[in-house]
Amino acid sequence: MLAPLSWLKEYIDVTLESNKLGDRLTEVGLGTEKITKDKDDIIFELEITPNRPDLLSIIGVAREVAAMEGKKIKYPKAIVDIKNVKPKKVLPLKIQTDHTINPRFTGMIIDGIKVKESPQWLAERLIKIGQRPINNIVDITNYVMFELGNPLHAFDYDKIEGHVLKVHQTKGGEEFKSVDGVSYHLPKNAVVISDSQNLIDLCGIKGGENSGTFEETKTIFIRVPVEVPNLIRRSSQALGLRSEASAIFERGVNAGGTIDALQRCVDLVLQIAGGEIASQLYDIKKEEFEPWKLSVQTNRLGKILGIEIPKQKAVSILESLNLKPIARKDEIECTIPTYRNDLKIEEDLIEEIARLYGYNKFPKIIPGGEIPTKTIPYFKDYRLEEKVKNLLKASGFSEIYSYSLVSEKALLALDINPEKTLRVDNPVSIEFEYLRPTLKIGLRNGLLQNKPNFEEINLFELGKVYLGEDLDKAKEAYFLSGISNSKSFVEIKGVLENLLEELGVKQDPSKNIEATEEGVLFEVNLSEVLEKLSPRKKYLSIPKYPPIIEDLSIEINPKIKYGAIVNVIAAQSKLVNKVELLDEYRNKKTFRITYLSRERNLTNEDISPIREKIIKAMKANFKATQI
């Protein structure tokens, strides 16, 4: 919402400097996003919350400024009394409406107007709030909407076939051409207006091209409606079409302000475009839209806010908001104007008092109570999940999320029996019929979808799988799965070994890896792994004495696992600190052995017997010979 300071000053004598005014508006709930200078004016860009459609108008913002500064607002003065007008001639117009979709229909005909460019002051004001001037009639309706917060639309009276306006809902699929020349196929139940032949208005969103006001227009019908918010919202969403009017109607327009908006619009039309009133006031409604009563208990005020605000101060704040408070013994009764649709319950009034009083005046108190030390039953430590994900990301993998529901076809592709998989009784589609028993399905799909765009693909997913044949045997578990078309079996194994080592779990991950046509897949039951978790790590200080490093080359059966060789070497002496595979070729392997003592410097005399012991152990356990 853009609010020029010069426009605000027409209704309220603003004395605060612009930056201080922006800060104060932010304090009371009108977030001031930006303050810009435009020639000789200041423009405030305000963020309006969805519950305050009244602030989507200059008068609405002026009311807030008046409440902050404790001043009275000056409303535009009426020139013609449209309620009691006696037109010289009355043009015919038949209106058919439905109160369930159009609670209030207010309007009036003006004849003998002249459509032309808007006066400079009007055009400049619209430009300052980001609007494009079109012609004096359209500009007046836009001006009044932004001034008072009630959207209006002007129809070319002579283009209304049969001089009939019928408000109804669409059946779906009807074609509608808006005033800006764009065609739409309307959704079902959109609220529209038709004449005797055509659709001429998409209510609350856009006017029709076939009823717009152009240079040849001589007579207009001005309509100021009250629309049903959810109906306007649905149509706007379905069409992907939003307007300033729809933004107001979606939030709830001021149902009691239609006559005031029409009064202002008629005055400006007669003043700028000429003409004369050619009808009585149309105000079709089923009920009266009157202010309502709402009270706040004075003892509740302090209980909810946590501070004591004097009763007289609360009354003064409510008075500044034009809520006409009456102080009684234990309560303050207010009369809520129709533009404040957000004030429905007692707590709403308490909030109004608090925000105008100033939240910054509330004492800063640290909440009392004890910090909980016991873990709640449903507690989950997401830090472990983050650690696992970060380790895989560091290994070159990208995380994906896939659907928990899969198809029978996807299960059969992995040789999974659908009869032994949990099925949804009322699936929305056969593509989402079974609860996934594995994450491999989503990963394979992800690989296939990314293949056209990337050569090297490394994906992983951490999520729930659903095991069991029926509800009695059903079990949820967290699985960690991944797929790669660029890493080998050995590389994937190294990634998982590093992961398990970081988690403090001793487990051979080889059984969790398989090679497929698409790439190398792995799947780990993370729930089981976390049960074996040993997150505590022993701290070792940096050694004072240097190590001795040797390389040992041996000829050994290539089927013997690396881990078994390392274990035998490390078992020969406590001075063996680290064993690494340095190189291998066919049945020849070279190991780098690091010897270290934390108590003294080692010499060759210390290492020689250990070396001999290692060579003998290799021969005895694996029939290996030194090269």
Q: Report, as an integer, the average pLDDT of 537-548.
A: 87
- Do 107 and 231 belong together in one domain? yes
Collapsed DSSP state (helix, strand, coil) of residue 64: helix
**CA 356 – CA 309 distance, rounded (Å):** 12
- Total number of domains in the chain: 5
pLDDT, tens only, 300-310: 999 999 899 99
Q: 251-265, 325-339, 354-368, 570-584 — which is least confidently predicted?
A: 354-368
Q: Are 261 and 144 in contact (CB under 8 A)?
A: yes
**Domain C-terminal end among 285, 312, 340:** 285
Amino acid found at 36 = T
pLDDT, tens only, 377-426: 777 778 889 999 999 999 999 999 999 999 999 999 999 999 999 999 88
pLDDT, tens only, 199-233: 999 999 999 988 889 999 999 999 999 999 999 99
Q: What pLDDT does residue 503 have?
A: 87
CATH of the domain at 192: 3.50.40.10
User: Residue 110, Cβ neighbours under 10 Å: how many?
Assistant: 26
Q: Are 446 and 400 in contact (CB under 8 A)?
A: yes
Q: What pLDDT does residue 18 have?
A: 92
- Do 511 and 409 belong together in one domain? yes
Q: Which of 527, 521, 553, 538 is nearest to 624 (CA)?
A: 553
**Domain C-terminal end among 498, 531, 564:** 531
Q: What pLDDT does residue 506 have?
A: 85
Q: What pLDDT does residue 535 have?
A: 62
- Do 9 and 157 belong together in one domain? no
- Do 352 and 398 belong together in one domain? no
- Enumerate residues 6+ apart whose C-beta is below 8 A from 575: 595, 596, 597, 602, 606, 607, 610
Q: Are 476 and 488 in contact (CB under 8 A)?
A: no
Q: Are 73 and 29 in contact (CB under 8 A)?
A: no
Q: Is the pLDDT of residue 538 over 90?
A: no
- Do 525 and 553 belong together in one domain? no
The rounded percent of the chain whose pLDDT value lies above 70 is 99
**CA 77 – CA 340 distance, rounded (Å):** 22
CA distances from 288 to 82, 85, 103 (A): 18, 21, 10
- Do 327 and 354 belong together in one domain? yes
Q: Which of 166, 274, 169, 287 is nearest to 223 (CA)?
A: 166
**CA 299 – CA 116 distance, rounded (Å):** 60
Could you tell me if residue 245 is inside a domain?
yes
The rounded percent of the chain whose pLDDT value lies above 90 is 86
Could you tell me if residue 60 is inside a domain?
yes
Q: 47-51, 133-137, 179-183 — which is least confidently predicted?
A: 179-183
CA distances from 169 to 166, 194, 597 (A): 10, 10, 88
Q: Please report the beta strands in 157-300, taking only residues with DSSP state E, as ranges in sequence order.
A: 164-169, 175-177, 183-185, 191-194, 199-202, 206-207, 219-226, 276-277, 282-285, 292-297
Could you tell me if residue 246 is inside a domain?
yes
Could you tell me if residue 212 is inside a domain?
yes
**pLDDT band, residue 563 (cuts 50/70/90):** confident
Q: Report, as an integer, the average pLDDT of 357-370.
A: 86
- Do 245 and 114 belong together in one domain? yes
- Do 399 and 254 belong together in one domain? no
- Do 110 and 58 belong together in one domain? no
372 vs 567, residue with greater confidence: 567
Could you tell me if residue 541 is inside a domain?
no
**pLDDT band, residue 532 (cuts 50/70/90):** confident
Collapsed DSSP state (helix, strand, coil) of residue 411: helix
Give Cα 612 distance to the centre of its chain: 69
Mean pLDDT of the chain: 93
Domain range for 503 is: 382-531
Locate 426 and state its tokens: 């009322």
**CA 119 – CA 136 distance, rounded (Å):** 8
Q: Report, as an integer, the average pLDDT of 225-243.
A: 94
CATH of the domain at 457: 3.30.930.10
CA distances from 163 to 63, 168, 204, 442 (A): 40, 16, 21, 61
- Do 302 and 280 belong together in one domain? no
Q: What pLDDT does residue 365 have?
A: 83
Q: Are 444 and 410 in contact (CB under 8 A)?
A: no
Q: Is the pLDDT of residue 246 over 90?
A: yes
DSSP 241-261: ---HHHHHHHH---TT-HHHH
Could you tell me if residue 370 is inside a domain?
no
Could you tell me if residue 424 is inside a domain?
yes
Q: What pLDDT does residue 336 have?
A: 97
Could you tell me if residue 180 is inside a domain?
yes
* Half-sphere exposure for 601 (CA within 13 Å, toward CB): 2
**CA 406 – CA 46 distance, rounded (Å):** 46
Q: Which of 222, 219, 202 is nearest to 143 (CA)?
A: 222
Q: Report, as an integer, the average pLDDT of 583-598.
A: 93
**Domain C-terminal end among 265, 285, 305:** 285
CATH of the domain at 616: 3.30.70.380
- Do 126 and 229 belong together in one domain? yes
CA distances from 294 to 47, 324, 342, 564 (A): 27, 11, 12, 81
CATH of the domain at 19: 3.30.56.10
Q: Show the DSSP H helices in 414-462 as ranges.
A: 440-450
- Do 106 and 219 belong together in one domain? yes
**pLDDT band, residue 372 (cuts 50/70/90):** confident
Q: Cα angle at 617 between 614 and 619, to 5 degrees?
A: 115
pLDDT, tens only, 452-508: 999 999 999 999 999 998 888 899 999 999 999 999 999 999 999 999 988 888 888
Q: Report, as an integer, the average pLDDT of 288-294.
A: 95
